[in-house]
Amino acid sequence: MICRAVIGCVITIALVTLLVSCSASLKLVSIQVTPATAAASAGSPTQFTAMGTYIHPPRTTDITNSVTWASSNQAVATFSSPGAPVGAAVAVSSGTTSITATISSSSGVVVGTASLTVTAGGPPGLQSITILPSSPTIPQIGQTTQFVALGTLVSGGEIDLTNSTATTWSSSNMPVATVSNTGSATAVSCGTTTVSAESQNIVGSTLLTVSCGPITSIELLVTKTGSVEGTVTIQPPLTGINCGTVCGALFNEGTGITLNAVPTPSSWTGCDQVIGGACNFTVRPDSPGGTQKVVTANF
């Protein structure tokens, strides 16, 4: 009886030791901050994302809400602006600042970095503006679609102008559709209108149609391939797209979609355009008369 009790005790201790060892093996080894290099005009926010890479077992996950965000030059940009979402740096004045995402743990301090350049009068050297999605259709009055304004810089590279205070959005036919100062268009009546975004006297535009026809729902399926674990999310943050291996949601045909992925995929399939690493497209079936569209992020 004494022998059995001792053996039982040893087995219990061994099991406890094994469980503690397994739970302690998960370790954060690096943080990737995206975008790695960003530009903004004074007064506008820039949303940063932190992806943590772990070992034992290896995985990559979004830790934006878990890190401590900081700007090396508070006079240029700050994370303390009231009402700003986690990870959003608000540009204050001209200059360059280092953005850091930090986590402290028993295994040490892990830091991810990025750079933000702020200009007083809008983005530097703007060459052109592209409005996405291109020529979307809103089927019913009262529905909305989100536009994105992407600026191409003379020096190379691109900048998201959608929410910049230096960007002016407009609709050429407001009785058909109105557009907010963040690029969200709302259908008012049937017809067409030209939606434009202007910055530094550069204008980008696209045609918006309010069809007032039957609503066709298309199933959007987003898949991921590759050996690197990544995340795919939708802009704006509509319900349904926040992917594991596969995710999907129903959207009205003609809806404009922008998909963002972290880390940046090596390639996308199923997009109309890929700009700044983001997949932009109008929801239409892959085959005539079909009800499904597939987009794949290849990591």
Number of structural domains the chain divides into: 3
Please give the pLDDT value at position 93. 80
Within-domain flag for 13: no
Least confident of 169-183, 207-221, 271-285: 271-285
Model pLDDT for residues 57-93, shown as the tens digit of each residue:
777 888 998 899 999 998 888 887 666 788 999 888 8
* Closest C-alpha among 299, 127, 120 to residue 203: 127
Question: 204 and 243 in one domain?
Answer: no
Question: 176 and 198 in one domain?
Answer: yes
Single-letter residue type at 47:
Q
Question: 112 and 31 in one domain?
Answer: yes
Please give the pLDDT value at position 245. 63
With bands split at pLDDT 50, 70 and 90, how would you rate the model's confidence at 171? Answer: very high
* Closest C-alpha among 59, 81, 78 to residue 70: 78
Within-domain flag for 84: yes
In this prediction, residues 5-19 reach a mean pLDDT of: 39
Number of other residues whose CB lies within 10 A of the CB of residue 106: 6
Please give the pLDDT value at position 4. 45
Please give the pLDDT value at position 207. 96
Mean pLDDT (the chain, rounded): 81
Domain region containing 90:
27-119
Most confident of 36-40, 135-139, 177-181: 177-181
Please give the pLDDT value at position 155. 65
With bands split at pLDDT 50, 70 and 90, how would you rate the model's confidence at 175? Answer: very high
Q: What is the spatial distance between Cα 129 and Cα 16, in angstroms, rounded to a whole number?
A: 60
Q: Give the CATH number, domain containing residue 162.
A: 2.60.40.1080
Single residue among 84, 119, 154 that ends a domain in this structure: 119
Least confident of 179-183, 220-224, 256-260: 256-260
Most confident of 16-30, 36-50, 110-124, 224-238: 36-50
Question: 248 and 205 in one domain?
Answer: no
Please give the pLDDT value at position 169. 97
Please give the pLDDT value at position 121. 56
Within-domain flag for 14: no
Question: 94 and 145 in one domain?
Answer: no
Single residue among 210, 226, 250 that ends a domain in this structure: 210
Within-domain flag for 144: yes
Judge whether residue 213 has pLDDT over 60: yes
Within-domain flag for 95: yes
Question: 62 and 46 in one domain?
Answer: yes
Question: 115 and 70 in one domain?
Answer: yes
Please give the pLDDT value at position 170. 97
Q: What is the spatial distance between Cα 129 and Cα 150, in angstroms, rounded to a whole number?
A: 6
Judge whether residue 264 has pLDDT over 70: yes
Output the pTM of the full model.
0.50
Please give the pLDDT value at position 269. 94
Show the tokens assigned to 164: 């910049």
Model pLDDT for residues 120-150, shown as the tens digit of each residue:
655 557 789 999 888 888 888 888 888 888 8
With bands split at pLDDT 50, 70 and 90, how would you rate the model's confidence at 244? Answer: low
Look at the chain and count its residues: 299
Question: 221 and 195 in one domain?
Answer: no
Q: What is the spatial distance between Cα 75 and Cα 95, in angstroms, rounded to a whole number?
A: 8
Within-domain flag for 18: no
Within-domain flag for 12: no
Single residue among 180, 195, 210 that ends a domain in this structure: 210
Number of other residues whose CB lies within 10 A of the CB of residue 6: 10
With bands split at pLDDT 50, 70 and 90, how would you rate the model's confidence at 103? Answer: very high
Within-domain flag for 61: yes
CB contact at 8 A, 162 and 234: no
Q: What is the spatial distance between Cα 237 and Cα 213, in angstroms, rounded to a whole number?
A: 26
